[in-house]
Amino acid sequence: MRKIGGHASLKPRSDIARFATKILAVLAVGFIGFVVFFYAAPFQYSFSVWAPDQPIAYSHKLHAGDLEINCQYCHAYARRSEMAGVPSVSKCMNCHSNLTIDSEQIAKLTEHYDQDKPLEWIRIYDLPDLVWFSHKRHIAKEIACQKCHGPVQTLVTNARLVKHNMSFCLNCHQENGAPTDCLTCHM
């Protein structure tokens, strides 16, 4: 039973308190959401994109972007084999033995060259063994590298910008009348 009299004045006050609590709760949730959205989201993004530290801080942005070196100058097998291939140290030295850049990274590169030691680049893209893929067929159809690897020429550190899952392959095959039967890619 509701009491009347001296206690009646408590009711409006506790209503205000409850209302204030609700407002505070909404603001708190909003604030947490704001923090998560603006701070956590970029970290999540950088966690979900595979961008390993490489043995030398080689920059596609500098070489393929700013200096406009053709992708296939370094990835020379792309048009004639399954693999695109990663350039040898001596290919880098075609330029770097003539350039006098005083830097720790170039010193490291030169050391590898002098000792005939290959650079162990960490693979970015690697399909599971059950899938067969060949660059040659795709390059012959003049499909741009960027269709499957994203804007590599903008990357200071290389990263896996594109997910090569089955629907990624199938969608383009469907759109372009390329074969879609299972044995095309699973042999």
Residues 69-88 that bind ligand HEC (CB under 6 A): 69, 71-75, 78, 83-87
Position 60 contacts ligand HEC (CB under 6 A): yes
* Residue numbers 82-121 binding ligand HEC by CB under 6 A: 83-87, 91-92, 94-96, 99, 101, 103, 105-106, 109, 121
Q: Which contacts (CB < 8 Å, 24+ apart) does range 45-52 have?
A: 49/159, 49/160, 49/161, 50/124, 50/159, 50/160, 51/157, 51/158, 51/159, 51/160, 52/122, 52/124
* Residue numbers 31-50 binding ligand HEC by CB under 6 A: none
Q: Based on CB atoms, which residue is closest to ligand HEC, 14 or 98?
A: 98
Q: Based on CB atoms, which residue is closest to ligand HEC, 24 or 67?
A: 67
Contact 109, 93 (CB under 8 A): yes
Position 161 contacts ligand HEC (CB under 6 A): no
Nearest to 75 by CA among 162, 149, 184, 169: 149
Position 123 contacts ligand HEC (CB under 6 A): yes
CA 32, chain centre distance (Å): 27
Minimum distance from CB of 44 to ligand HEC (Å)? 20
